């Protein structure tokens, strides 16, 4: 039986009372999903708080709802679908505003739910990046998942395609990374940052 204290020790993960194991696989797509396949749409603004493992998220849904949360991700240094431990805390608007005053790097994207995938279409300097994620509750589910034909390449083990790394990536870095997987977004000749 697990104790109440979770943590990561030498690649071994122990979920705790408030954190759980995050299992996900990530895939590059050549284009956004067809609108007819989308079940839910939300615009996400992530604030990666400088010098921490904390992410402040604002998700604005097409129906007018707004979800605010603080997330801590503790990565594990091992390949595969187990990404580490994740803890989420849902916030009131006042709590969000206090935390949003902290120095942070911003990342914006639109997430389209196309079950079983969440497909992120990025904005700004990451425009042209289309990244899909599938989340799992067990290791067996993660290992047996067969991605759809729209998934060009799996990047689960490529740390460059994690939010914490993407938030610091330049346009040129992104284009180089995508080129390694045979992807060249429209307008990628533009050297603007």
Q: What is the pLDDT of residue 178?
A: 97
Q: What is the pLDDT of residue 7?
A: 55
* The pLDDT value given to residue 192: 45
Cα–Cα distance, 55 to 34 (Å, whole number): 29
As averages over each run of 10 residues, the pLDDT of the chain (193 residues) reads 47 69 94 96 98 96 96 81 88 98 98 97 96 94 94 96 96 97 78 43
- What pTM does this model have? 0.86
The whole-number pLDDT of residue 48 equals 97
Q: Please give the pLDDT value at position 147.
A: 95
User: What integer pLDDT is reported at residue 191 of this predicted model?
Assistant: 45
Cα–Cα distance between 61 and 120 in angstroms, integer? 14
């Amino acid at each position: 039986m697990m104790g109440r204290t979770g943590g990561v020790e030498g690649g071994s993960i122990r979920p705790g009372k408030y954190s759980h194991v995050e299992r996900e696989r990530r895939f590059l797509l050549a284009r956004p999903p067809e609108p007819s396949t989308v079940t839910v749409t939300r615009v996400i603004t992530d604030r990666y708080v400088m010098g921490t493992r904390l992410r402040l998220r604002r998700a604005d849904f097409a129906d007018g709802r707004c979800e605010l949360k603080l997330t801590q991700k503790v990565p594990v240094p091992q390949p595969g679908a187990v990404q580490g431990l994740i803890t989420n805390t849902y916030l009131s608007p006042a709590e969000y505003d206090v935390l949003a005053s902290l120095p942070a790097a911003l990342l914006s994207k639109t997430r389209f739910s196309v079950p079983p995938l969440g497909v992120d279409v990025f904005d700004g300097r990451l425009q042209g990046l289309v990244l899909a994620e599938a989340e799992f509750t067990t290791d067996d589910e993660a290992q047996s998942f067969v991605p759809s034909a729209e998934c060009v390449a799996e990047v689960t083990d490529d740390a460059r395609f994690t939010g914490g790394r993407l938030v610091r990536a330049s346009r040129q870095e992104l284009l180089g990374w995508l080129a390694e997987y045979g992807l060249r977004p429209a307008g990628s000749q533009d050297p603007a940052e």
